[in-house]
Amino acid sequence: MNTVRIDWSKIDTVLLDMDGTLLDLRFDNWFWQELIPRRYAAANGLSPPDALELLKPKFHATRGTMQWYCIDYWSRELGLDIARIKRAALDLVGYLPGAEDFLVKLKDSGKRRILVTNAHPTTLAIKEQQVGLAVHFDACYSTHTFDAPKENAAFWPRLQAAEPFAVERTLFVDDSLPVLRTAHGFGIGWLRAVRRVFGFDPWHVSAPYSCRPYKRSAVELANSLRPVTVVEVGCGLGDILSRVNAAERYGFDIDTGVIRAARFLHPGAARWIHGDASSVALVIQRDRRIDCLIMVNWIHALSPQQLAASILPLLPRTRYVILDAIDPDGPASYRFKHDFSFLSPFAERLSSTRAAGEPRSLMVFKVTA
Q: How confident is the model at residue 122 (pLDDT cuts 50, 70, 90)?
A: very high
Are 197 and 285 part of one and the same domain? no
Q: Is residue 138 part of a domain?
A: yes
Q: Is residue 1 part of a domain?
A: no
Which pLDDT does position 47 carry in this prediction? 94
Are 15 and 141 part of one and the same domain? yes
CATH of the domain at 184: 3.40.50.1000
Are 19 and 146 part of one and the same domain? yes
Are 221 and 231 part of one and the same domain? yes
Residue where one domain finishes, among candidates 173, 189, 205: 205
Q: How confident is the model at residue 288 (pLDDT cuts 50, 70, 90)?
A: very high
Q: Is residue 339 part of a domain?
A: yes
Strand partners, 366: 320, 348
Q: How far, in Å, CA of 284 to CA of 250, rounded?
A: 9
- For residue 32, the 8-state DSSP code is I
Q: Is residue 303 part of a domain?
A: yes
Are 60 and 97 part of one and the same domain? no
Beta-carbon neighbour count of residue 5 at 10 Å? 12
Lowest mean pLDDT of 158-167, 223-232, 280-289, name the range.
280-289
Higher pLDDT among residues 262 and 359, named by residue: 359
Q: Is residue 278 part of a domain?
A: yes
Give yes or no for residue 199 having a pLDDT over 50.
yes
Q: Which strands sit side by side in the sheet containing 13-16, from one edge to the other?
A: 139-142, 112-117, 13-16, 170-173, 190-192
Residue where one domain finishes, among candidates 205, 233, 262: 205
- Helix 71-78 with 48-62: angle, nearest 10 deg: 130
Give yes or no for residue 33 having a pLDDT over 80.
yes
Please give the average per-residue pLDDT across 334-341, as a whole number.
94
Number of structural domains found in the chain: 3
Q: How far, in Å, CA of 135 to CA of 100, rounded?
A: 11
Q: How far, in Å, CA of 349 to CA of 355, rounded?
A: 17
Are 123 and 138 part of one and the same domain? yes
| Separation of CA 102 from chain center | 20
223-233: b (≥16 Cβ within 10 Å) or e: eebebebbbbb
Which pLDDT does position 163 carry in this prediction? 95
Are 308 and 171 part of one and the same domain? no
Q: Is residue 3 part of a domain?
A: no
Are 309 and 319 part of one and the same domain? yes
Q: How confident is the model at residue 260 (pLDDT cuts 50, 70, 90)?
A: confident
Q: How confident is the model at residue 340 (pLDDT cuts 50, 70, 90)?
A: very high
Let me know: does 12 contact 165? Beta carbons within 8 Å: yes
Note down the domain range covering 312: 212-367
Q: How confident is the model at residue 254 (pLDDT cuts 50, 70, 90)?
A: very high
CATH of the domain at 321: 3.40.50.150
Please give the average per-residue pLDDT across 27-31, as a whole number.
88
Residue where one domain finishes, among candidates 179, 205, 231: 205
Q: How far, in Å, CA of 230 to CA of 232, rounded?
A: 7
Which pLDDT does position 3 carry in this prediction? 38
Residues with Cβ within 8 Å of 108's Cβ and at least 6 positions away in sequence, in order, are none
Please give the average per-residue pLDDT across 309-337, as a whole number.
94
Q: How far, in Å, CA of 161 to CA of 107, rounded?
A: 23
Q: Is 89 exposed, middle or buried (0-12, 13-18, 19+ CB in 10 A)?
A: middle
Which pLDDT does position 210 carry in this prediction? 55
Q: How confident is the model at residue 97 (pLDDT cuts 50, 70, 90)?
A: low
Strand partners, 114: 15, 139
Which pLDDT does position 2 carry in this prediction? 37
Averaging pLDDT over each range in 85-94, 198-207, 345-354, which range is the top one?
A: 345-354
Please give the average per-residue pLDDT across 57-79, as a whole number.
92
What pTM did the predictor assign? Answer: 0.56
Q: How confident is the model at residue 4 (pLDDT cuts 50, 70, 90)?
A: very low
For the chain, the average pLDDT equals 90
Q: Is residue 310 part of a domain?
A: yes
Q: How far, in Å, CA of 110 to CA of 369, rounded?
A: 56
Are 279 and 185 part of one and the same domain? no
Are 46 and 191 part of one and the same domain? no
Averaging pLDDT over each range in 4-13, 88-97, 197-206, 240-249, which range is the top one?
A: 240-249
Higher pLDDT among residues 136 and 207, named by residue: 136
Q: Is residue 2 part of a domain?
A: no
Residues with Cβ within 8 Å of 47's Cβ and at least 6 positions away in sequence, in order, are 41
Are 50 and 197 part of one and the same domain? no
Are 242 and 346 part of one and the same domain? yes
The terminus-to-terminus CA distance of the chain in angstroms comes to 51
